[in-house]
Structure 1
Amino acid sequence: MEIAGLTIHADEGLLMLNGVGNRDPKAFPEAPDTLGITRDAHHHIAFGFGVHQCLGQSLARMELQVVYSTLYKRIPTLRRAVGLDRIPFKHDAFIYGVYELPVTW
């Protein structure tokens, strides 16, 4: 089998790492390695893709819309308490994210 110009032989294996899935410069040319909350992310694979797409993605999206809109209505001055350089990102976990996000209002 050939994938992206690389031949994968029958006795070889592939390792799919979630941490690199949404950092494809072809999908996100503006800055694939940065946290871009406002970027157009229609090509992300957070909920899988194709036949392997998560059945709960619609529920998760709805929950996030409700949570964020409610949070910002109740605390409109909510903002980060520290600069991005002081936010500890998870590089050693199965799911990428932050260990903590200090906020103030």
Structure 2
Amino acid sequence: LPVTDADGGLVGVVGLRELTKATDAVRALMSKAGTASPDTPAMSLLPVLTDGRSHAVIIVDAERRILGLITQTDLLAAAARVHMADPTLAGA
């Protein structure tokens, strides 16, 4: 889950597992967010989304305002659509 500051800028992320830990401050639970710009090629996000830790990459503008996010499922679905659209890959 993305965490933002008062101006809406991304400051980090908190996972659902971390939220179950007893603490009084979100800051203590945050980790660095995997980010990309809107112009980043989607398939270049594979290393981040397959690192075993990250489930999403947050898409941000130059001011680190959140524009959206790409999840592992989004990228897998896009890859499947490309695969199915290419007849030379259909039998692979």
Normalising by structure 2, report the TM-score: 0.23
Higher gyration radius (CA) = 1
Higher helix share: 2
